[in-house]
């Protein structure tokens, strides 16, 4: 079972709203990731959590705030987003945080900022 579950699948939010994207995996993986993908572009890394601690932040604006409540859950809190933040947000996980661990992606959450 290589399932990463993301909710919601679609989200429309205004620029003054606060919303959250949620991600869950039950594979016992200890590393979890947020990626962002714009149309016709490859996924771009945003954050990496390793053993529930934030290990990598790829200079993401503070209007995106990640949270890892436990080893199975990963949230992305959204506040005061801009229309250009509209994209597919992908959660992923891997057994460990080192290279050589296959990263498995969820189906993504489509975010539209109006």
Asked whether position 23 contacts another protein by CB under 8 A, the answer is no
- Beta strand 44-50 with 31-37 is antiparallel
State the minimum distance, in angstroms, from the CB of residue 80 to another protein: 26
Asked whether position 60 contacts another protein by CB under 8 A, the answer is no
Query: Shortest distance, CB of residue 53 to another protein, whole angstroms?
Result: 12
DSSP annotation of 102 reads: P
Of 8, 96, 112, 114, the one binding another protein by CB under 8 A: 96
- Cβ-based neighbours of 54, under 8 Å, separated by 6 or more: 47, 48, 66, 68
């Amino acid at each position: 079972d290589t399932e990463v579950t993301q909710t919601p699948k679609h989200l429309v939010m205004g620029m003054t709203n606060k919303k959250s994207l949620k991600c869950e995996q039950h594979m016992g993986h200890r590393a979890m990731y947020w990626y962002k993908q714009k149309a016709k572009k490859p996924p771009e890394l945003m954050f990496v959590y390793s053993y529930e601690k934030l290990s990598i932040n790829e200079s993401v604006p503070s209007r995106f705030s990640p949270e890892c409540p436990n080893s199975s859950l990963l949230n992305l809190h959204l506040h005061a987003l801009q229309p250009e933040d509209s994209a597919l947000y992908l959660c992923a996980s891997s057994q460990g945080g080192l290279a050589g661990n296959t990263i498995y992606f969820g189906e993504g959450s489509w975010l539209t900022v109006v």
